[in-house]
Amino acid sequence: MPHDYSRTPEALSRLTRDQFRVTQQDGTEPAFRNEYWDNHENGIYVDVVSGQPLFSSTDKYDSGTGWPSFTKPIEAEAVRAKSDTSHGMIRTEARSTGADSHLGHIFDDGPADAGGRRYCMNSAALRFVPVSELEAQGYGRFRSLFEPGENTDSGEKAS
């Protein structure tokens, strides 16, 4: 069943001030002082605005940066790259494809054996759904990512 992961006025009204600043005003939260940088629980990370599935803990690793970092999106079409020339730098911004939420940035310094990408995300742009709640929250199709034999990695990767 297809989902509509668009941005709605109701969804925006539920955001905290920090979530709004990050997702709607392209903000960044402080390193090492955000909710998910050190989360080691298995599950998926969804767009805080729309609920669109974005990343899996099976692709999360400790980049040492203080932000949650992933080697790839849960589905390639979930995240789009956009050129970002703000702050006197040339970077690649990561945005959700459904709600067009600012998520963070993409860098080419990730683990080489996993493609070399680092999706450096803001916790404020994400909501974590533990494996035990996937079905209840409508994300049961991602359960197989955490079943033995389906994915050789049972949790976070070491950097």
Mean pLDDT of the 30-36 span: 97
Q: Is there a domain that residue 151 lies in?
A: no
Q: Is there a domain that residue 144 lies in?
A: no
**Residue 96 confidence (pLDDT) above 60:** yes
Residue 136 in tokens: 């209840």
Q: Is there a domain that residue 25 lies in?
A: yes
Q: Is there a domain that residue 43 lies in?
A: yes
Q: Is there a domain that residue 103 lies in?
A: yes
Closest CA to 145 of 85, 46, 93, 75: 75
pLDDT in tens, 37-63: 999 999 999 999 999 999 999 999 999
Q: Is there a domain that residue 72 lies in?
A: yes
Q: pLDDT over 70 for what percent of the chain?
A: 92
pTM of the entire structure?
0.90
Q: Is there a domain that residue 153 lies in?
A: no
User: How many C-beta neighbours within 10 Å does residue 8 have?
Assistant: 12
CA distance 31 to 115: 24
DSSP 43-93: EEEEETTT--EEEEGGGEE--SSSS-EESS-SSGGGEEEEEE-GGG--EEE
Mean pLDDT of the 89-107 span: 95
CA distance 49 to 139: 16
* Structural domain total, the chain: 1
**Residues taking part in catalysis:** 120
| Residue 15 structural domain | 9-132
pLDDT in tens, 103-113: 999 999 999 99
Q: Is there a domain that residue 106 lies in?
A: yes
Higher pLDDT: 25 or 84? It is 25
